[in-house]
Amino acid sequence: MAIKGLIFDLDGVLVDTVPAHFAAWKRMFEEHGYTFGRAEYRRLVDGRPRYDGARAVMTRHSDSEVRIAADSKNDYYVEMIEQGEFQVFEAAVNLVRKCQSEGYGLAAASSSANVRSVLEKAGLLDAFPVVIGGDDVANGKPNPDIFLAAASGLGLAVEECIVVEDSSSGVLAAKTGGFYCVGVRHDDHDEDLPGADRVVSTLAEIDIDQMEER
């Protein structure tokens, strides 16, 4: 079946907000007495909805305390994003604009509830007729709900879409939903994104015309 749409994760795929996310998580967890480093970020938090990530680390706190802490993490993160503390990946912009000009359906699907505001600041919101945030679905990654909602929003079948992800939980979500998944592996990650149909180091490696022949 021909590819008609692409569904992009946000953080680590379209933009590099990971330093801001990590700094916000680290600040919040340490305020609550938890040691938090890169290993914990990748294993427990990366790609997950905010509350799920907070709960995975804050094992000594009640649900209400975890929710309050998770909200404070978001406040720290939003403050940094408002100050422009993120980078837009040039290769991602080039791929998105090429796909947009060629008439592909485009969706952004992120566990972040701030996905629209980040896309707007990155100058990419106009490219995505469908934007799904973590608050828009009942179950976050690694459940496939967010990608299924994106495909539905585009009016496309799962088989007509490619998901682009950079986290193991996101890849698992895509594959559980039946999608073809391209994994973006970053140099500082120690995981190989098992399950991805293809792994690239940059979106510059993706030729959408060739992808139709997958």
> Which of these is catalytic: 9, 46, 52, 145?
9
Report phi then psi at 112, rounded to 5.
Answer: -75, 135
Active-site residue identified among 11, 46, 52, 166: 11
Spatial CA neighbour of 53 closest among 175, 141, 173: 141
Residue type, 210: Q
CB distance 180 to 162 below 8 Å: yes
Distance from C-alpha of 65 to C-alpha of 63, rounded to nearest angstrom = 5
User: In this structure, what DSSP letter does residue 14 have?
Assistant: T
Q: Distance between CA 47 and CA 67 in Å, rounded? A: 18
Number of other CB atoms surrounding residue 126 within 10 Å: 9
CA-nearest of 173, 166, 196 to 12 is 166
Specify whether 52 is catalytic. Answer: no
* Helix boundaries (H) for 34-62: 38-40, 50-57
Whether 75 is a known active-site residue: answer no
DSSP H or E run through 71: helix 63-82
Residues annotated as catalytic (active site), given as ranges: 9, 11
